[in-house]
Amino acid sequence: MKRRFKNLSITLLISSILLLGLLGCSSIGEEEEKVVIEDNGPQEFIEGIEVYEMKGGIPEYKLKAEVIKNFYDIKRTIAYKAQLDSYDKDGNHYSYIECDSAYVENDGDLIKAYGHVYLKTPNGIVKTDYIYWDKPSDKVLAPNKVVLIRDDNEVSGFNLRTDSRFRITNMDNVKAVGTVNEKDSDL
């Protein structure tokens, strides 16, 4: 009977030493595993809002949307069912964009409008499904099918390249309805 307890004592002693060794050694030379949760979602989610971007007390643009998501870490605002009014350096209104969604990036320097895009300036109206506007260079690109309306004239084509006021426009595969004005053509 004494022998049974002796074997049990030795087994408990060895088991305890192994357990302590495993617990003590597991943290030696290893760093604690840190769980990092990445939050790639918006930092701000707003419904039914109107936002003004100001520069020195003068509006640069006004963004109105049903939903706005702001991603401050990557300097991007996404607006759904958006209306965007742009102003010149003197604060005068000069363009209006309406679209299904708009991406405003880099503090308003880059605007991408998607889905049922309607762009109106004093020099005409553009209807398309996508517009890319680089504000610092004032380049407007609409790579897909485009309809450009000026006065009573309608020009359609692809790959519109212009500025925000449609002063000079270039387009591929052009079809026109109306009277061609010499100032609008380089033919």
Are the C-beta atoms of residues 171 and 157 closer than 8 Å to each other? yes
The more confidently predicted of residues 136 and 179 is 136
pLDDT score for 180: 62
Q: What is the pLDDT of residues 66-79, one digit of tens each?
A: 999 999 888 899 99
What kind of architecture, by CATH, is found in domain 44-182?
Sandwich (2.60)
Q: Is the pLDDT of residue 129 over 60?
A: yes
Query: Pick the residue with more confidence: 157 or 106?
Result: 157
* Whole-Å CA distances, 131 to 34, 63, 74, 86, 139: 43, 16, 21, 15, 10
User: Is this structure's pTM higher than 0.95?
Assistant: no
Contacts of 143 (CB under 8 A, 6+ apart): 130, 132, 158, 159, 160
Given this model, what pLDDT does residue 118 score?
A: 96
**Domain map (residue ranges) of the chain:** 44-182
